[in-house]
Chain A
């Protein structure tokens, strides 16, 4: 059974700091990896996706993928209070649907 593991948190960081969110997955056949942000009571919104090993940067966000270690992370630079949310890691194998982790709650304090 495919599993996606995340630390539930909360991860607390001060405003302006770097927040590091981690995710591991069990299925070595996974091909694409996604980070979603979910505010309380709202549906998830896509932040980034990554397919290749290495780093992918988009503004303040950097996704890192290491397929050998089955590990994907999300770095948020210059964290803002508005970044406080639950971050969901999701993994996809080919055309199958996404398998979601339980999410990590991030709290950014002013």
Chain B
């Protein structure tokens, strides 16, 4: 399958600081990337849909000013958690869909995930 790389895998930060997470599609171009958040023993919750060259579409209840998403190229999307607080501690996972004829499958390939701990 397609490869999606996410960095960093682990990050610990102090409350009030900002953290940036990168998501890269390594062997394909992704016009659309998705950012999920997963709390312990919970399912994946979609935060936002990131579209290359345009503003991200946020799910209800997700603060767009707190979770800044940039999708400047077809292979890179970034999520910045601004003024992080302990309740933002979670597992953040990006995913991307290929542009080939397989797009109709809705198949998603996931990054490795980034575990954020806010002290």
What's the dominant secondary structure at chain B's contact region?
Answer: mixed
**Shortest distance between the CB of B27 and any CB in chain A (Å):** 16
Contact string against B for A residues 41-58, beta-carbon threshold 8 Å, 1 for contact and 0 otherwise:
111111001010000000
> Do B34 and A43 touch across chains, with their CB atoms under 8 A apart?
no
Contact string against A for B residues 1-29, beta-carbon threshold 8 Å, 1 for contact and 0 otherwise:
10000100000000000000000000000
**Chain B contacts for A98, CB-based, 8 A:** 106, 108
Which residue of chain A has the shortest Cβ distance to B43 in the bound complex?
A: A102
**Shortest distance between the CB of A27 and any CB in chain B (Å):** 13
Interface size class of B (residues with CB under 8 A): 20 to 34
Which residue of chain B has the shortest Cβ distance to A92 in the bound complex?
A: B106
Which residue of chain B has the shortest Cβ distance to A31 in the bound complex?
A: B106
> Do B110 and A44 touch across chains, with their CB atoms under 8 A apart?
yes
Residues 37-64 of B at the A interface (beta carbon under 8 Å): 42-44, 46, 49
**Shortest distance between the CB of B44 and any CB in chain A (Å):** 5
Please report the total number of A residues contacting B with Cβ < 8 Å. Answer: 23
Most B C-beta atoms less than 10 A away, residue of A41, A49, A90, A100: A100
**Chain B contacts for A45, CB-based, 8 A:** 110
**Shortest distance between the CB of A49 and any CB in chain B (Å):** 6
Which residue of chain A has the shortest Cβ distance to B115 in the bound complex?
A: A41
Seed contacts A49-B107, A96-B106, A97-B106; 13 additional CB < 8 Å A-B pairs: A34-B107, A41-B115, A42-B113, A43-B110, A44-B44, A46-B1, A46-B107, A46-B108, A92-B106, A97-B46, A97-B108, A98-B108, A100-B43
* Residues of A in contact with B (beta carbons under 8 Å apart): 31-32, 34, 41-46, 49, 51, 88, 90, 92, 94-98, 100-103
* Residues of B in contact with A (beta carbons under 8 Å apart): 1, 6, 34, 42-44, 46, 49, 91, 93, 103-113, 115
